[in-house]
Structure 1
Amino acid sequence: MRPGIGCWAVAKRKGEGVTIVIKKEEGGEGGHHGGAWKVAYADFVTAMMAFFLLMWLLNATTEEQRRGLADYFNPTNVMGQRPSGSGQPFGGRTPNESGQMSSNASSVRVETGPRPVVFDLEEDDSDSPATPVERREGPKGDDETATPARIMAAQAEAGSGRGEGGTQADLAQASAEALREELERREREVMDRLAEQIRSAVQDDPALAELARQIRVEQVPEGLRIQLLDGERTPMFALGGSAPSEKVRALLGKVAAVINRVSYEVAITGHTDATPFRPGARSNWDLSAERANATRRLLTEGGVAEARIRSVTGLAEREPLIPEDPQNAANRRVSVLLLRETPPARNAAP
């Protein structure tokens, strides 16, 4: 057998001839080809995984998050106009735009809000009558009846009714009157709701239901007045003293909760009946002032800010609730007044 040929021959005599038998041997392993294909396949699979992971991240993140990632991997030079780092990923967003020290990578956002109400009014010093102007209205608010457009429309109607002899001063006066009336109407509605909330808070509490007849809530020219009246069997304060009862504490807690829903200033006044003290002792002036001050403390404990307290006054028996019966227990009372923000008109009914 010749080495390297991969076959061998055998010669054998049989008779006169010679028989030659040739056998081929299949070669074994053709040598080790190596594992380079495995490394290439692993790199391919890794690249595909990274690609699909990137696609998933792009789909699962918001625009702001992607912008933050781009800014993190694209560091900036705050003193320059051009971005440092490589590339402009994610749609070309860059930390800096054209212009000195300008950047769009900060958290400041400018959004378009509703268009304001604009009135085209022209100042004219002449005495010529006012002419109608075009009015552009913005989006309507919750209370459609109180929009500035309606107020100005009422002002225009009031001014146009004066005829050609009307002046700018007349129109301005009519506008001011219409505006005052509208503000007064809205304020009356707010105070009506507050009065109803106070009455409901007292009536819905079983512990205070019996005091419903001893609380009086009404609107007066100065604002909304809440009066706590004494009863023959259910006094609000200790007889001859300023210590409030437990029911008064609970009642003023309900009142304070309602007062905290608005921003009106508060005036507190104490009153007594005409029963005098012994000579040399304290007077009804002292008693009424002490009860008013005790009421102030209970309101502030209920959350009413001290800055909203306008005054704390004691009027003794000088303003009785029932003048024909100065000894009546109802004359012993404390008044909490929510002051109007809009002054009443001169011809307002008392």
Structure 2
Amino acid sequence: MAKGKGEGVTIVIKKEEGGEGGHHGGAWKVAYADFVTAMMAFFLLMWLLNATTEEQRRGLADYFNPTNVMGQRPSGSGQPFGGRTPNSEGQVSSDASSARLETGPRPVVFDLEEDDSDTPASATEKREGPKGDDETATPTRLMASRAEGAGGAAEGRAEGKAEGKDGVDLAKATAEALREEHEKRERAALEAMAENIRAAVRDDPALAELAKQLQVEQVPEGLRIQLMDAERQPMFALGGSAPGEKARALLAKVAGVINRVPNAVSISGHTDATPFRPGARSNWDLSTERANVTRRLLVEGGVAEFRVRSVAGLAEREPLLANDPQNPANRRVSILLLRENTRNAAP
């Protein structure tokens, strides 16, 4: 302000020292804390999913989401998706947590009449209807009707037994007819095989002279083929089991024919009644050795080993000519082609 003429102007300079800014609020801190908490919960959830089994997760989910059986709507315990958890089977929106009502049969209501007295209600009056035959019939008629019923039942049982017996007889007759037809065809097949064996030996010039030493016939057990010794024409060496050349060729012919069928084979060896010297071999040993040699020759001719049912030596106990036990024909080898329905057949 001017104080007078010739005096200068007074200038006042006011300086304010700068200080810290005022408080701007802490809302961001709350948001940050919520974020950190959410991230911690997320990583904790990831760890639990990786460290627990399916059963454990199902138990945890059911613990934190209990089922409200009293709920009237499919809302669960105040949770969405009907109270189901992500681990529950089936669709999420389900009513499995709500009570379910099912209707049953209507209860029976008795028609009772109540009176003003204190006595309990009594049942309705029974209505009389038309009487049946049993009520109107006399005792004599009842006995007669029951006798007729019993007679009819007896006749029915008798007819049933007769029909059952006829059915059993028919089944037995059918089975017998089938068995006879099977046996007839089997006999025809064996006879055809026997003729093939005879023809194979007869048509071979080298074996034609042995045809009289070959006997092929049908027996109850099957087809029996016998190779017999003749005077000055033995099949095996005398007193030994080595087969001759013609015996080998004859057995090869027989093997070629019987190899066409699957029937089992039983082989037996026989000797005459001539005994060995005491202390030496016996007819049992000789007959067994010849039967076993025959088995080997048949197998070499193509007969499968598993088809051989038995190999036995019978010595002189079953001679071909019982009236002449010393006859060379008693020295023979028997090959029995067993029937299919034969079991434990003896050669």
**Mapping of residues 29-108 of structure 1, within 5 Å:** none
CA RMSD of aligned residues (A): 1.6
- What's the secondary structure of 1:167's corresponding residue? helix
Letter paired with 1:339:
L
Determine the structure 1 residue equivalent to 2:293. 294
Separation in structure 2 between the aligned mates of residue 233 and residue 276 of structure 1, nearest angstrom: 19
- What's the secondary structure of 1:171's corresponding residue? helix
Separation in structure 1 between the aligned mates of residue 302 and residue 251 of structure 2, nearest angstrom: 11
Q: State TM-score, norm by structure 2.
A: 0.52
Structure 1 residues without counterparts, runs of 5 or longer? 1-124, 131-165, 345-350
Question: CA offsets, 1:177-219, max 9 Å, x none?
Answer: 1111000000000000000000000000000000000000000
Determine the structure 1 residue equivalent to 2:313. 314
Q: Does 1:212 find its partner at 2:216?
A: no
Determine the structure 2 residue equivalent to 1:325. 324
Determine the structure 1 residue equivalent to 2:225. 226
- For residue 167 of structure 1, report the CA deviation from its aligned partner: 1.7
- For residue 307 of structure 1, report the CA deviation from its aligned partner: 0.2
Separation in structure 2 between the aligned mates of residue 336 and residue 128 of structure 1, nearest angstrom: 50
Separation in structure 1 between the aligned mates of residue 174 and residue 224 of structure 2, nearest angstrom: 30
Separation in structure 1 between the aligned mates of residue 291 and residue 342 of structure 2, nearest angstrom: 25
Runs of 4 or more above 6 Å deviation: none
Separation in structure 1 between the aligned mates of residue 169 and residue 323 of structure 2, nearest angstrom: 48
- For residue 301 of structure 1, report the CA deviation from its aligned partner: 0.2
- For residue 232 of structure 1, report the CA deviation from its aligned partner: 1.1
Question: CA offsets, 1:63-88, max 9 Å, x none?
Answer: xxxxxxxxxxxxxxxxxxxxxxxxxx
**Mapping of residues 160-199 of structure 1, within 5 Å:** 167-199=166-198
Determine the structure 1 residue equivalent to 2:47. none
Determine the structure 2 residue equivalent to 1:251. 250
Question: CA offsets, 1:4-24, max 9 Å, x none?
Answer: xxxxxxxxxxxxxxxxxxxxx
**More strand per residue:** 1
Separation in structure 1 between the aligned mates of residue 338 and residue 296 of structure 2, nearest angstrom: 19
Larger radius of gyration: 2
- What's the secondary structure of 2:267's corresponding residue? strand
Instruction: Report sequence identity in percent.
Output: 72
Bigger shift: residues 238-247 or 334-343? 334-343
Q: Is the 8 A contact 1:273 1:320 kept in 2?
A: yes
Structure 2 residues without counterparts, runs of 5 or longer? 1-158
Determine the structure 1 residue equivalent to 2:340. 341
Separation in structure 1 between the aligned mates of residue 224 and residue 310 of structure 2, nearest angstrom: 14
Determine the structure 2 residue equivalent to 1:267. 266
Letter paired with 2:275:
P
Separation in structure 2 between the aligned mates of residue 343 and residue 316 of structure 1, nearest angstrom: 24
Q: Is the 8 A contact 1:127 1:168 kept in 2?
A: no
Separation in structure 1 between the aligned mates of residue 182 and residue 257 of structure 2, nearest angstrom: 21
- For residue 173 of structure 1, report the CA deviation from its aligned partner: 1.1
**More helix per residue:** 2
Question: CA offsets, 1:152-188, max 9 Å, x none?
Answer: xxxxxxxxxxxxxx52111111111111100000000
Separation in structure 2 between the aligned mates of residue 337 and residue 321 of structure 1, nearest angstrom: 15
Separation in structure 2 between the aligned mates of residue 342 and residue 187 of structure 1, nearest angstrom: 10
Separation in structure 2 between the aligned mates of residue 204 and residue 126 of structure 1, nearest angstrom: 64
- For residue 129 of structure 1, report the CA deviation from its aligned partner: 3.9
Separation in structure 2 between the aligned mates of residue 129 and residue 188 of structure 1, nearest angstrom: 36
Letter paired with 2:188:
E
Aligned length: 185
Question: CA offsets, 1:240-277, max 9 Å, x none?
Answer: 00000000100000000001110000000000000000
Q: Is the 8 A contact 1:260 1:304 kept in 2?
A: yes
- For residue 128 of structure 1, report the CA deviation from its aligned partner: 5.4
Q: Is the 8 A contact 1:183 1:342 kept in 2?
A: no
Determine the structure 2 residue equivalent to 1:202. 201
- For residue 342 of structure 1, report the CA deviation from its aligned partner: 2.5
Determine the structure 2 residue equivalent to 1:105. none
Determine the structure 2 residue equivalent to 1:140. none
Q: Is the 8 A contact 1:270 1:288 kept in 2?
A: yes
- For residue 126 of structure 1, report the CA deviation from its aligned partner: 4.3
